[in-house]
Chain A
């Protein structure tokens, strides 16, 4: 366990101590940031269409992601920003993912909270930023109307013309 007292970790310790659980969290901290750096590398190489993400400033534990609404859905072409916050236990615990751009959707509430099983009880250590963003992108066009966070959106979903009209109105409001 000699790596627990690696002096290189010294700069990380201040954050670890703030969490209140001593030097062991410094190693966790380091292995989480190691994986996040790896993810950033593969994400930048992958060239997925319609999704992107990058750390928000110098902090590798908080990212800003962007999703473009998928083709053939009412969200087509709309651009949404999301925040991803990674706990020290990532990838063993899920990150907190929220819409920063207000999103009118049956499974998103007015604070941007998202109801998605893979971010809660179906989380797996194999998921990453890329698969999370792809899942949310596909959730846009394929909502789960049985457990809505936004009742109005869930009710209106069956009428796609009316839904799109209200969606675009609300989307324009967020820009002005």
Chain B
């Protein structure tokens, strides 16, 4: 039997490394593999960041939290001083 492929469609899936598929950002309550409430499309434009305390958030969400803090910049989860994990 001879098969002639006329056309095909490609489908790809992706996920962030280091977080479970069903995990959500505890600031905005949206999935990590989705985007924060102010972005439209997930992916590199709405990245994840980790603190040295190992807690993870959408970058936009943690930046908004840190900017709203007047004195100390603490992780909203554990109240340790927030330092970005290198």
A residues with a Cβ closer than 8 A to B are 2-3, 27-28, 30-32, 34-35, 38-39, 42, 89, 91-93, 124-126
Contact = CB atoms under 8 A, between A and B. Distances in A.
Interface residues of B, number: 17
Contacts of A92: 64-65, 68
A131 to B, nearest CB: 11
Nearest to A6: B40
A42 B30 CA distance: 12
Interface of B: 26-30, 36-40, 61, 64-65, 68, 76-77, 79
A30 B39 CA distance: 11
Contacts of A126: 26-27, 76-77
A2 to B, nearest CB: 8
A125 B38 contact: no
A93 B37 contact: no
Contacts of A93: 68
A27 B29 contact: no
28 contacts: A2-B40, A3-B38, A3-B39, A3-B40, A27-B38, A28-B38, A30-B37, A34-B30, A34-B37, A35-B29, A35-B37, A38-B29, A38-B30, A39-B29, A42-B29, A89-B68, A91-B27, A92-B65, A92-B68, A93-B68, A124-B76, A125-B27, A125-B65, A125-B68, A125-B76, A126-B26, A126-B27, A126-B76
B18 to A, nearest CB: 19
B57 to A, nearest CB: 9
B78 to A, nearest CB: 10
A35 B30 CA distance: 8
A27 B28 CA distance: 14
Question: Which of A27, A38, A91 has its CB near the most chain B CB atoms (within 10 A)?
Answer: A91
Given A126-B26, A126-B27, 17 more contacts: A27-B38, A31-B37, A31-B38, A32-B37, A34-B28, A34-B37, A35-B28, A35-B37, A38-B30, A39-B29, A91-B27, A93-B68, A124-B76, A124-B77, A125-B27, A125-B76, A126-B77
